[in-house]
Chains A and B, each alone.
Chain A
Amino acid sequence: MKLHEYQSKTIFSKYGIPIPKGRVAATAQEARQIADELGGRVVIKSQVLVGGRGKAGGVKLAKDSAEAEQLATQILGMEIKGLPVRKVLVDEASAIDQEIYFAITDDRASKRPVMIASAAGGVDIEEVAAKTPEKIVKASIDPLLGLREYQARDVALAIDLPREYWKDFVKVAMGLWEVYKNSDATLAEINPLVITKDKKMIALDGKMMIDDNALFRQPALSEMRDTDEDAPSEIEARKYGLSFIKLDGNIGCMVNGAGLAMTSMDVIKLFGGEPANFLDVGGGAGAEKVAAAMRIILTDPNVKAVLFNIFGGITRCDEVARGILAAMDEVKPKVPMVVRLVGTNAEEGRKLLENAKMITAETLADAAKKAVEAAKKGK
């Protein structure tokens, strides 16, 4: 789960990391009022959950509150990478001397958290990482010990941070470690961490990603989830504990197991079709869950055929078949359905579906071919 900049910075601030004064606004009038409170000179920053906001024109400097209102109007009407801007953050403007990149994230390779810093922070950090990787400093953190202050000093030294800022930097680093650890973040990033002309260190921007698997113990963060940017079908799927991602094709897929679900999409593509979604009904999927999955797939008007690929292990094929029947009764689908049931109770499952006017298949390849063919006819 991604957090917005304003949400991330509020959390940073609770852990002693200095952030600019500012507030979030949903209307241009609000933005003007906040700018007034902050003394006029402000930065208007679109709050959308994608990178590259600045380059898309979603971050603008206003010299007074009138301009703040005007720029907020403009930014609130924008779409950035397809996402409409619904909120802006109005922050007091800072006079910047240096921009630093600083983040803590999971390092899959070392199985440990890693601290990443660069003196070349700012909007072009990806380019810096690609072209001059020597400018990026990394330090591995022992997850059992936590970040130690000396490690933060080592990093300050490695990025040539002037000594007068080491104390501030260590404070920010230790704060961000606590943010990362206590929020179950998979990424806690400050870019840029700036040194201002009046020699203050401030987290000008903030980005956090939270481990979905840890949300059970992060109730406050769970409530911050912004569902404005999720497809309605994805929100509905989450309610039923289904793992669902909408795609652009016309063959709906319902599969048990994430690996097999990805594979079913791949095989559809291999035989010339385009999957309309990724959908893992999970292990031990009962009839109710299957019915919900089918409803979600069929709400997509692009869907011209549906492929069910169920390999019964814990999941029982007869149970899935009952779910399919219940859903067909309720939804009365008009598109062709291709079903492949293998494994636990597959025989019973197939019998249940005998009179349901579905196309059956023995192998995955066969099922995919039939689904591709059916979708073409349906066009």
Chain B
Amino acid sequence: MSILVDKNTRLIVQGITGNEGLFHTTQMVAYGTNIVGGVTPGKGGEWVLDGKVPVFDSVKTARDATDANATIIFVPARFAPDAMFEAADAGIPLIICITEGVPVQDMMRVRNYLDQKKVRLIGPNCPGLLTPGEAKVGIIPGNITIPGNVGVVSRSGTLTYEVLYAMKNLGMGASTCVGIGGDPINGTNFRDVLEMFEHDPKTEKVIMIGEIGGNEEEKAAEYISSKMTKPVAGFIAGQTAPPGKRMGHAGAIIEGGAGTAADKIKAMEAAGVKVAKHPEEIPTLLQ
């Protein structure tokens, strides 16, 4: 089973002919992801990857021709909101937006529109999804993790790689790894993903990697303590970050004393989550 993406995922790539889009399409296809098409307005009819993947002018035409059930977005920030609206209007039920730097007011409009349409969005500003051995929908390097029974959910990119790699070194594999992204307004939060892992028969344990800013980790802790039966280990990045400074991720900022690492760790520990002191320690807490 795993969650969100697997062998049955039929993926299209929005921005497939751009530098990043093309590079990662190649990587995803090499991993075995079923990419059925791509979209670049004005380049419909062309093919990429030596004639293996057709390019369409719009998401609608791509979906009609390929029956795609997921899309991944690699377009620049100024075009990303439009790409998300287009995918939702074309009836794609799962949108993964890798793009970083999308303005927050755009994201509020996108999120409210997508909620009305009941479309699931992952990201933006995220590394995407990886179900080891089945589908890589994003930019997480495929060779740093192996199939297994640990669900991983994270707000970060390379920090997630660090954890997957530490897991692999211990022989521990992942059911699905979900990067929900580092922006203040995103499509899917920790709680949503934890609920999916709780109901996924292939996931037996969960790793949750949070960071300073916002209160999604606290909400996740509430869910863990009231509803979750599977063991959870975690980590919070930004314990040494000063208040009021934005630590790269638009969401990683301690505002008015709220969103500190200490508060989050306290909430998680109170919910029975084992919180690691450094990322390489996380997988050992689940052994």
Contact = CB atoms under 8 A, between A and B. Distances in A.
A342 interface: yes
A348 B165 CA distance: 19
A106 B238 contact: no
Given A260-B156, A262-B247, A364-B279, 9 more contacts: A211-B105, A258-B249, A259-B154, A259-B237, A266-B239, A270-B278, A312-B141, A313-B140, A314-B20
A319 to B, nearest CB: 14
Given A262-B211, A266-B240, A184 B103 contact: yes
A269 B277 CA distance: 11
Interface of A: 106, 108-109, 111-113, 126, 142-144, 181, 184, 186, 211-214, 216-217, 243, 245, 247, 255-263, 265-270, 275, 278, 280, 283, 311-314, 342-344, 363-365, 368
A87 B154 CA distance: 44
B94 interface: no
21 contacts: A106-B105, A106-B108, A106-B185, A111-B107, A111-B185, A112-B112, A113-B108, A143-B105, A214-B103, A214-B104, A217-B78, A243-B247, A245-B247, A257-B248, A259-B211, A261-B247, A266-B238, A280-B248, A313-B127, A314-B23, A344-B141
Contacts of A280: 248
B113 interface: yes
Contact of A245 (B139, B239, B245, B256): B245
A258 B247 contact: yes
A245 B254 CA distance: 14
A313 B108 contact: no
B156 A258 contact: yes
Contact of B112 (A144, A184, A267, A270): A144
A213 B156 contact: no
The 3 closest A-B pairs by CB, nearest first: A259-B156, A258-B248, A257-B158
Contacts of A266: 237-240, 261, 278
Nearest to B159: A259
B157 A313 contact: yes
Contact of A213 (B101, B165, B242, B256): B101
Nearest to B23: A314
A106 B111 CA distance: 13
Contact of A184 (B101, B105, B237, B240): B105
B241 A213 contact: no
B104 A313 contact: no
Given A106-B108, A257-B156, A260-B156, A265 B103 contact: no
A259 B249 contact: yes
Nearest to B250: A213
Looking at chain B's contact residues, the main secondary structure is loop
B31 interface: no
A111 B103 CA distance: 13
A259 B280 contact: no
Interface string B245-260: 1111111100010000
B157 A143 contact: no
A342 B23 CA distance: 20
Nearest to A113: B108
Most buried by B among A126, A311, A364: A311
A260 B162 contact: yes
A258 B252 CA distance: 9
B209 A259 contact: yes
A314 B106 CA distance: 26
Nearest to B212: A262
A363 B113 contact: no
Contacts of A257: 156-159, 248
A262 B154 CA distance: 14
B161 A343 contact: yes
B22 interface: no
Contacts of A111: 107-108, 111-112, 185
Nearest to B106: A214
Nearest to B140: A313
A113 B107 CA distance: 11
Interface string B79-111: 000000000000000000000011111111101
B158 A260 contact: yes
Interface in B151-180: 154-162, 165
